[in-house]
Structure 1
Amino acid sequence: MGRWYTLCRRLTALAAVFMMVFCFVIPVSAKTTENGVAVYVSDNESTFDPGGATYSRIICLKNSGSANGTLLCTYDQLKNVTVDMDDGTSVSKQVYPIYKSTDNGDNWQLISNVYDKEYGLLRTSQPCLYELPVQVGDMPAGTILLAGNIFDDDPYTQSRIVLYKSMDGGYTWTFLSEVDNGGACIYDPSTTSTTTTVWEPFLGMSESGDLVCYYSDERQKSDGVLQAVSLKTSSDGVNWSGLTNVAAINNTSDRPGMITVTKLPNGKYMATYEMVNRPSLSKNNAVVYCKFSDDGVTWDAGSLGTRVALADGRGIGSSPYVKWIDAGGPNGMVVISAKWGTDSSDSISGGQNFYVNYNLGRGSWERLPMAVTYDYNDLAGGYFSGFSQSFDVSPDNSTLYQATNVENFSNAKTIDGVSYNLNDVRVGTLPLKGSIYEAEKATITNAQAGNAVDASNGLEVQYINESDSSVDFQNIKVENSGNYNILVRYSNGEGIEASHMVTVNGTQIGTVNYPVTVNWDRYLWSGFSCYLNAGTNSIKFSKDVGFAELDCIQVSETSNDFAIINKNSGKYLEIKSALTNEGAESGQWGITDHWCQKWNFEDAGNGSYRIKNMNSGLYLDIESESTVDGAKAIQSSYAERDSQIWLLEETEEGYCHIVNKNSGKYLEVFSNSTEDGASVGQWGITDYGCQEWMLVKEGIH
């Protein structure tokens, strides 16, 4: 049952709540659980727009000395604030509020309001926060920049992209420059649009060290371009270059917008943007695309780019935000947030996951559960919830901070005769050092796995309803004994708090509680800490009070494991027969979910890695340190020799060569075989797919 219950079962659950006299509640983190922490609660009296707040922006300082780790957050605050002007008058207008946290997002303080004093404009929108990583002009590294679009009140006549700077961590601000200006701030994506607005600034650095402002430009309609995403550069933040296009599609239909850009470790730059009027003018779901540049300023502007999608064709849409993070694997991880997910035909479908890629942004993408969830399609009573969110990471790349706007069901307001749940701004955290274990891959007793569009790996365990129902994660592996934080992703649409009994390695340690979620399709995190032994462990969740469905768990501070898939065969690199002895051969096989198909990349310096098999704890090696074609790939104990060192060479479509440092030869499946059990070894480069491999993480546990 799980989602729909009989009256008898509801009464049984309520009786269990009233009869229970003791329940051991395991402490959890308020930042990852409870849907994050509120930075701002929309003002029910003064808010003039049903969104309440949108366009959340967060940065974590990394170039500011002793202030490193400080979080700054702003957003599009849809109300007026009375502010003092330089001439001594007071004016009611919109501002960019700046909030600060010095305790990883637990508590927030409003430290300043930024607003227009130069042009006499009343509206602020579309903020971008940026910390300079290097000196630009007379601004040292650590200077905080705020870009935004300011415009007049109705009737609208102009839009201006402006830049402010703060030299004291966000407490005081001065106007720096105007980047560009355009016509009335009016949204009209139709093919007959005549608007000339400039929109949606985003700041970054070019390869040459210039400051770059990327933004949307509607002033190229005479060239058949409905809207372009463009850029200007500056060596001092004051004087700006001419306009260059990133994407300008000459068909009077496609409308790229809301561009964000990140630099990858291979030196390339990656841009993401929504393509308004995709997949069609009538089904406009603002599908997300990406493209690449060698320097951040030179792009193939006429190219549509590549649709961001999972292997099964699911994509994302609306207001993307992209960032490369030095965590998660040998290539780090490219992470994209967007307002909603889409199915393979680009209809709106879900929206509670980041999209991640561990192969430098190429090839298919995977899901990573969000820290904070929201009404992605505005059907639960929100309005533009999750629109143009953002995220950043801690200085040590261990924690992701997500800032987004979330509908507040206890804060409704009627505007133009319609009641809306105003959005709050919330910040949640997600640990990046840990392994996700899927509930559907656990041992399931008297319950069942079912499809769920927003579940990690697309499946969850439902119907955990009976006295003997349980989900037993029997294959949790850690290298060292000690206490570990366990996060549990769940849904509970029953309307009362639920719980599961938790048993670790055969000993019941207490219960984990599941506060109510908006519905059975909406996820939150709960959590607890427990002691795990070095090696393999079991964590079992059993029916207790109420009802909840399980998506996955994350075990903290564990190794980042990958499956390594061959391009030619689609099969998985493994140690044959799951052997654990020295000298056992590697081969390929279809997916088995066994640890012999899971590998950890250990940094060996200078961009190279040791590749450890997670079943045996031994390392991928070349037999007898051979340098000849056809030598077998085996496993052996750690040794200071180059035959255990491997380099990754990017190829295309998300694949790579795995090159042995000692021999310079390429890991391959012999004879281009596609058969289970085929041997793996080394050979000189052949350009065959049997020498190309892809790293995959989602769903391997």
Structure 2
Amino acid sequence: MRSALAGVAILLVTALPAQATPQRGVLFDGGSSYPRVIRLANGTILASITTNMGADGTGVISASADNGRTFKRIATIKDPAGARGGGTCCSTLYELPSAVGTLPAGTVLWVSTMGFSAPLGVRNTSNRLWASTDRGVTWRFLSNVAVSPNRFDIWEPSLSVAADGRLVAFYSDETDKVHHDQKLVQVRSADGVHWTDQRETVVSADWYVRPGMINTLRLPDRSYFMTYEVCNNDLIHLCSAYFRRSADGWNYGDPRDLGTLVLTADGKHGRHTPTPAWSPRPGRAGTILLITEMLVQDGGATAGGNGGTILANDNHGDGPWYEMPAPIKVSGVDNEGCRNFSPSLLPARDGRAVLEVTTDYDHAVCKTYYATGPLSRF
């Protein structure tokens, strides 16, 4: 499971000098994790974090109407399932590109794992879906996407709308402990309320192998691109980032196929918490960006760009990836749960810059930071 904090601001159109280090700002000045940022269809930028300060796990929504220069907190989501020490984790934001049931296009969805901090004897984690029809100002509980049938956890949900118009939710599943330590699964809904057709997305025959941290994009050609980490499959590619593709957003191939490892020409690869984004530049036909917690060399040793590198590919993931400087450089990143844990990217509409939100320690507090920098190769 994951926990990290993030702040959010969107990319400025004006590119910064390649040699300049962008100044990072603070989005949430307190313990937080899993920052996410999206641009709504009307141009408003929304950011979310989860925080477990105090007895209740809550989600905090902030908005920017000036292209990410400033942010204002507009909502706090207090789910009863995360109250009294239940805790919340691993949330994400998503705007519906088309209507789903009675939910109109433009509905903003927030889904988070609730109850993961409850004592084992009473723990039943659930992925809980909330909806806003006023661009994140007010929220209502919509449904349980999934509820653990036992004391083991489900978490790290993400959302997508498939080509057939149904809402798809993906998440990490530890509840099948007889056969798998963890696997990735998916469900779908025609209305955002009733969820059906649970199936495996990525799973290994080896009990110890743990696929997790799944996210998807819909590319301009209408195909779908999925990223996730795979842990414990070998000592070199430990929790490294993998990808697979789909034509319809529901069928991603044989679940027993672990997918394609994200690699640079010299064998560097990202470890832990991969989060993708699509940018119209610098590639002629656009570029897939991927940011991970860590960057390691071919043999598994920490790379020089660790904690400050974006991996990019101009060909829908095919062929070698290349490195780009991330707006924020986090020092000392080594899979300890805060530093650069589950960072997120939001490219500018013209693809010349990118906003990063990530977490880092301020003394003993894990805070969310944001900064915008140019999209350029090293």
TM-score range, shorter chain: 0.7 to 0.9
Alignment counterpart, residue 368 of structure 2, candidates 402, 425, 428: 425
**Distance 1:139-1:396 versus aligned 2 partners, 3 A rule:** farther
Which residue does 1:357 correspond to in 2?
313
Separation of aligned partners in 1, 2:44 and 2:298: 40
Question: What secondary structure is seen at the aligned counterpart in 2 of 1:242?
Answer: strand
Alignment counterpart, residue 75 of structure 1, candidates 49, 57, 63: 49
- Contact kept in structure 2, 1:391 and 1:403, CA below 8 Å: yes
Determine if the alignment matches structure 1 residue 372 to structure 2 residue 344. Answer: no
Displacement of 1:202 after TM fit? Answer: 0.6
Matches within 5 A, 1:221-232: 221-222=177-178, 224-232=179-187
Which residue does 2:57 correspond to in 1?
94
- Contact kept in structure 1, 2:217 and 2:226, CA below 8 Å: yes
- Aligned partner of 1:72: which letter? L
- Contact kept in structure 2, 1:60 and 1:394, CA below 8 Å: no
Alignment counterpart, residue 244 of structure 2, candidates 291, 304, 307: 291
- Contact kept in structure 2, 1:225 and 1:252, CA below 8 Å: yes
Which residue does 2:210 correspond to in 1?
255
Which residue does 1:214 correspond to in 2?
170
Separation of aligned partners in 1, 2:82 and 2:117: 12
- Contact kept in structure 1, 2:282 and 2:351, CA below 8 Å: no
Separation of aligned partners in 1, 2:131 and 2:287: 30
Displacement of 1:373 after TM fit? Answer: 1.8
Deviations 1:62-92 (A, max 9, x none): 2xxxxx2221111122312xxxxxxxxxxx4
Separation of aligned partners in 2, 1:118 and 1:387: 24
Determine if the alignment matches structure 1 residue 340 to structure 2 residue 294. Answer: yes
Displacement of 1:369 after TM fit? Answer: 0.8
Which residue does 1:88 correspond to in 2?
none
Which residue does 1:178 correspond to in 2?
144
Separation of aligned partners in 2, 1:118 and 1:40: 23
Displacement of 1:407 after TM fit? Answer: 2.4
TM-score, length of structure 2 as denominator length:
0.87
Which one has more relative contact order, counting CA pairs under 8 Å at least 6 apart? Answer: 2
Which residue does 1:273 correspond to in 2?
228
Displacement of 1:398 after TM fit? Answer: 4.4
Which residue does 1:148 correspond to in 2?
112
Separation of aligned partners in 2, 1:373 and 1:131: 29
- Contact kept in structure 2, 1:374 and 1:407, CA below 8 Å: no
- Contact kept in structure 2, 1:400 and 1:430, CA below 8 Å: yes
- Contact kept in structure 1, 2:56 and 2:83, CA below 8 Å: no
Which residue does 1:20 correspond to in 2?
none
Displacement of 1:404 after TM fit? Answer: 0.9
Matches within 5 A, 1:10-409: 33-42=21-30, 52-62=31-41, 68-80=42-54, 92-117=55-80, 122-151=86-115, 153-156=117-120, 157-182=123-148, 196-222=152-178, 224-280=179-235, 285-299=238-252, 300-349=254-303, 350-375=306-331, 377-378=333-334, 384-408=338-362
Structure 2 stretches lacking a partner, 5+ long: 1-15
- Aligned partner of 2:154: which letter? V
- Contact kept in structure 2, 1:337 and 1:355, CA below 8 Å: yes
- Aligned partner of 2:98: which letter? V
Deviations 1:188-220 (A, max 9, x none): xxxxxxx63111001111111111111111123
Displacement of 1:146 after TM fit? Answer: 0.1
Which residue does 2:9 correspond to in 1?
none
Displacement of 1:59 after TM fit? Answer: 0.8
Separation of aligned partners in 2, 1:74 and 1:362: 31
Question: What secondary structure is seen at the aligned counterpart in 2 of 1:331?
Answer: coil
Which residue does 2:8 correspond to in 1?
none
Displacement of 1:326 after TM fit? Answer: 2.6
**Distance 1:58-1:256 versus aligned 2 partners, 3 A rule:** same
Separation of aligned partners in 2, 1:370 and 1:70: 23
Separation of aligned partners in 1, 2:116 and 2:65: 35
Displacement of 1:394 after TM fit? Answer: 3.7
Separation of aligned partners in 2, 1:166 and 1:177: 13
Aligned-pair Cα RMSD in Å:
2.4
- Contact kept in structure 2, 1:61 and 1:395, CA below 8 Å: no
Structure 1 stretches lacking a partner, 5+ long: 1-27, 43-51, 63-67, 81-91, 185-194, 413-419, 437-455, 457-701
Aligned residues: 356
Q: Which runs of 4+ in 1 moved over 6 A?
A: none
**Distance 1:348-1:76 versus aligned 2 partners, 3 A rule:** farther
Separation of aligned partners in 2, 1:124 and 1:296: 27
Larger radius of gyration: 1
Deviations 1:195-251 (A, max 9, x none): 6311100111111111111111112333x3321111111111111112122201111
Separation of aligned partners in 2, 1:181 and 1:323: 29
- Contact kept in structure 2, 1:115 and 1:124, CA below 8 Å: no
Separation of aligned partners in 1, 2:201 and 2:25: 36
Question: What secondary structure is seen at the aligned counterpart in 2 of 1:149?
Answer: strand
Which residue does 1:494 correspond to in 2?
none
